[in-house]
C-alpha cells in the first residue's frame, strides 16, 4: 500500500511554492521598510509555553494542539502560532526593555482543526511582533503596514475590522457585566460551546458564528463602550491615525479574537472571496504577555496572516522563464551539452538540457514545453565545428555561434 500524506497536511507543488516564495519575499521587503528584522524560532516548544500564553480555556489549547511526550516524558507541542515562541525567544535573549524590537517571522503552524477550504492542520503564517512600545502610533503603524502589504500583494477586496478589548483594569468589570447579561438570557437557546463559555470565557460568546447565538446576544453590552478612559483614549488615537492615513475600517464590537493574550486594540482582515474561513489576518496588542511569561513589563503587539488564504486571493506572480534549453544528438553532443549547460549556469543563466536520450523531434517538443528563450542545438556537425545552433524562440531566428563566443553572444540578449 502506498503511504499518503496526513489529513490536513498538504504538499506545496512548485507552482504553489512560487506563490509562497513571492509572499515571503514581498513580506520581507515591506516589513523591513518598517524596521522589522527576521527571526526564526523552533517549530516545537514546551507545551506549557502555549498554555500560559494562548490561555488554557481557548479552543487552540483545549482541542487543537499537537502535543506529545519526548523521550524523557516532557510535553512538547508543534507550534499552533508564532507569537508565543517569539515572546519566549525575546525573554530568553534578554533584550533591553527600553528599546523597541520588531520581529518578522514566517513558517508552518499546526492546529488539529477540521480541514476545509482555507483551513489546514499544517498551515503557514507570516507574522510580525513589535515589543517595547505602548504608543497608539505603533498600533496604527502596524495596521497600516499590514494593509500596505496586502495591497501590494493584490489580494482584491478586503475589509479591516477593528475593536478594543480594554486592559487588565477595565476588562474584568466588563466581563462581569457581560456574564450577568448572559445569565439573564434563555440559555436553552445557546449552543453547547457558548453555554460552557458563559462562566469561563464569556467574551468568546460574542464571537460565536451560530445564528441563534448571534441573535440571542444581539443587545449584549458593547466592550468598546465599557473600557476605562485610558483605553478609550488609546483607541480614539488609533482610529484617528487610521483616518489620517486614509485607511478604511469597520468597527466590530464583537471582535474578541480566539487567543486570550489580547488587550486594547484588536483587528482582523476579512475577505469574502475565500469562503467561510474569511479571516486572512488577525492580531492586536498584548501588553501583559511578556510579563506573564516571566519577562519584564514590556508592551507588545503584532499580527499574523494566513498564507493558504492569501494564496487563494493573490495574483499569480509571473514565473521566471528559463533562458536556455539544450538539445543534442549523439554521444559527443551529449558531452558538449553537459559542459555548455554548466558553463551557462555558472555565468548566471537559468536553463536545462535534455536528460534522457530521445529523438530530435521529441527533444524539440520538450524544449517548446520548457518555454526557454533560446534553444541550443548540438548535432554531429556542430560538435565538429565547436559551435552550436542558437534558435531564438521569440522570433524563430537561428544562428550558428562558436561555443567559445556563446556567452558573449547570449549576453547581448539578457539586458
Ligand atoms: P489567529 O487569528 O489565530 O492569530 O491566526 C492568524 C491567521 O492565521 C488567521 O487570520 C488565518 O488567516 C490563519 N489561520 C489560522 N488557523 C488556520 C488554519 N487552520 N488553516 C489556515 N489558516 C489558518 C494568531 O495566530 C496570532 N498569533 C496572531 C498575532 C500575532 N497576534 C499578535 N501577534
Reported as a single tens digit per residue, the pLDDT across 74-96 is 999 999 999 999 999 999 999 87
What pLDDT score does 118 carry?
93
Which of 381, 402, 383 has the alpha carbon at shortest distance from 338? 383
> What confidence tens digit (pLDDT) does each residue in 352-374 have?
999 987 899 999 999 999 999 99
Answer for the pair 240, 213: CB distance below 8 angstroms, yes or no.
Answer: no
The confidence band for 186, taking pLDDT boundaries of 50, 70 and 90, is: confident
Tell me which residue has its CA closest to atom 2 in ligand 1: 282
Pocket test for ligand 1, best of 126, 131, 287, 304 (most atoms within 8 A of CB): 304
The finding on whether 111 has its CB within 6 A of some atom of ligand 1 is yes
Task: Determine which of 5-9, 177-181, 206-210, 398-402 has the lowest per-residue pLDDT on average.
Answer: 206-210
Strand spans (E) along 111-197: 122-131, 159-164
Residue 276 has pLDDT above 90, yes or no: no
Answer for the pair 142, 283: CB distance below 8 angstroms, yes or no.
Answer: yes
Pocket test for ligand 1, best of 306, 309, 310, 313 (most atoms within 8 A of CB): 306
Tell me which residue has its CA closest to atom 17 in ligand 1: 119
Separation between Cα atoms, residue 379 and residue 338, nearest integer Å: 13
Alpha-carbon separation of residue 368 from 113, 178, 380 (angstroms): 44, 66, 22
Mean pLDDT of all residues in 111-116: 96
Ligand 1 center–CA 306 separation, angstroms: 6
The finding on whether 382 has its CB within 6 A of some atom of ligand 1 is no
Q: CA torsion sign, 82 to 86 to 92 to 97?
A: negative
How far is residue 337 CA from its own chain's centroid? 41
Mean pLDDT of all residues in 122-142: 98
Q: Which residues contact 96 (CB under 8 A, 6 or more apart)?
A: none
Comparing 95 with 41, which gets the higher pLDDT? Answer: 41
Tell me which residue has its CA closest to atom 20 in ligand 1: 119
> What confidence tens digit (pLDDT) does each residue in 285-328 have?
999 999 999 999 999 999 999 999 999 999 888 878 999 999 99
Instruction: Enter the C-alpha cell of residue 33.
Output: 521598510
The finding on whether 363 has its CB within 6 A of some atom of ligand 1 is no
Averaged confidence pLDDT in the chain? 95
Ligand 1 center–CA 292 separation, angstroms: 21
Pocket test for ligand 1, best of 20, 49, 81, 165 (most atoms within 8 A of CB): 81
Mean pLDDT of all residues in 24-43: 98
Separation between Cα atoms, residue 302 and residue 294, nearest integer Å: 19
Residue 103 has pLDDT above 80, yes or no: yes
Tell me which residue has its CA closest to atom 8 in ligand 1: 306
Q: What is the pTM of this model?
A: 0.93
The confidence band for 57, taking pLDDT boundaries of 50, 70 and 90, is: confident
Instruction: Enter the C-alpha cell of residue 411.
Output: 549576453
Mean pLDDT of all residues in 95-121: 94
Ligand 1 center–CA 208 separation, angstroms: 17
The confidence band for 238, taking pLDDT boundaries of 50, 70 and 90, is: very high
Q: φ and ψ at 325, to 5 degrees?
A: -145, 130
The finding on whether 258 has its CB within 6 A of some atom of ligand 1 is yes
Separation between Cα atoms, residue 250 and residue 237, nearest integer Å: 16
What pLDDT score does 275 carry?
80
Alpha-carbon separation of residue 273 from 124, 126, 152 (angstroms): 19, 20, 18
Ligand 1 center–CA 124 separation, angstroms: 9
What pLDDT score does 415 carry?
64
Ligand 1 center–CA 282 separation, angstroms: 6
Tell me which residue has its CA closest to atom 14 in ligand 1: 306
Separation between Cα atoms, residue 235 and residue 264, nearest integer Å: 7
What pLDDT score does 119 carry?
96
Answer for the pair 255, 268: CB distance below 8 angstroms, yes or no.
Answer: yes
The finding on whether 282 has its CB within 6 A of some atom of ligand 1 is yes
Provide the percentage of residues in the chain whose pLDDT is more than 70: 100
The finding on whether 266 has its CB within 6 A of some atom of ligand 1 is no
Residue 17 has pLDDT above 80, yes or no: yes
Segment holding 374, helix H or strand E: strand 374-378
Pocket test for ligand 1, best of 125, 271, 278 (most atoms within 8 A of CB): 125
Tell me which residue has its CA closest to atom 16 in ligand 1: 119
What pLDDT score does 318 carry?
81
Tell me which residue has its CA closest to atom 4 in ligand 1: 282
Amino acid at each position: 500500500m502506498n503511504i499518503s500524506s496526513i489529513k490536513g497536511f498538504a504538499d506545496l507543488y512548485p507552482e504553489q511554492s512560487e506563490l509562497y516564495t513571492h509572499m515571503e519575499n514581498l513580506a520581507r521587503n515591506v516589513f523591513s521598510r518598517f524596521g522589522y528584522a527576521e527571526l526564526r524560532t523552533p517549530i516545537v516548544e514546551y507545551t506549557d509555553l502555549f498554555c500560559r500564553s494562548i490561555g488554557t480555556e481557548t479552543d487552540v489549547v483545549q482541542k487543537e494542539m499537537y502535543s506529545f511526550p519526548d523521550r524523557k516524558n516532557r510535553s512538547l507541542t508543534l507550534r499552533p502560532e508564532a507569537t508565543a515562541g517569539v515572546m519566549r525567544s525575546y525573554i530568553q535573549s534578554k533584550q533591553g526593555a527600553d528599546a523597541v524590537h520588531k520581529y518578522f517571522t514566517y513558517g508552518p503552524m499546526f492546529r488539529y482543526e477540521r480541514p476545509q477550504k482555507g483551513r489546514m492542520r499544517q498551515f503557514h503564517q507570516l507574522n510580525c511582533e513589535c515589543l517595547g512600545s505602548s504608543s497608539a502610533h505603533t498600533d496604527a503603524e502596524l495596521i497600516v503596514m499590514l494593509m500596505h502589504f496586502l495591497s501590494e500583494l493584490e489580494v482584491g477586496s478586503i475589509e479591516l475590522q477593528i475593536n478594543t478589548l480594554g486592559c487588565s483594569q477595565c476588562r474584568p468589570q466588563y466581563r462581569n457585566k457581560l456574564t450577568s447579561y448572559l445569565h439573564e438570557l434563555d440559555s436553552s437557546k445557546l449552543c453547547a460551546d457558548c453555554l460552557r463559555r458563559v462562566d469561563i470565557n464569556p467574551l468568546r460568546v460574542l464571537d460565536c458564528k451560530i445564528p441563534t447565538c448571534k441573535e440571542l446576544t444581539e443587545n449584549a453590552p458593547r466592550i468598546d463602550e465599557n473600557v476605562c478612559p485610558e483605553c478609550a483614549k488609546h483607541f480614539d488615537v488609533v482610529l484617528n491615525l487610521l483616518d489620517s492615513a486614509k485607511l478604511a475600517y469597520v468597527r466590530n464590537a464583537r471582535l474578541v479574537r480566539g487567543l486570550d493574550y489580547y488587550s486594547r486594540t484588536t483587528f482582523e482582515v476579512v475577505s469574502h472571496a475565500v469562503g467561510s474561513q474569511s479571516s486572512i489576518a488577525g492580531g492586536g496588542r498584548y501588553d501583559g504577555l511578556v510579563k506573564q511569561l516571566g519577562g519584564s513589563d514590556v508592551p507588545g503587539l503584532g499580527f499574523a496572516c494566513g498564507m493558504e488564504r492569501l494564496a487563494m486571493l493573490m495574483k499569480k506572480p509571473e514565473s521566471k522563464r528559463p533562458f536556455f534549453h539544450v538539445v543534442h544528438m549523439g554521444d559527443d553532443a551529449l558531452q558538449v551539452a553537459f559542459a555548455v549547460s554548466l558553463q551557462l549556469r555558472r555565468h548566471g543563466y537559468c536553463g536545462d538540457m535534455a536528460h534522457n536520450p530521445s529523438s530530435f523531434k521529441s527533444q524539440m517538443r520538450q524544449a517548446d514545453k520548457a518555454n526557454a528563450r533560446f534553444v541550443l542545438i548540438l548535432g554531429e556537425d556542430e560538435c565538429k565545428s565547436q559551435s552550436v545552433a542558437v534558435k531564438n524562440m521569440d522570433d524563430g531566428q537561428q544562428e550558428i555561434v562558436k561555443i567559445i563566443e556563446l556567452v558573449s553572444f547570449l549576453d547581448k540578449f539578457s539586458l
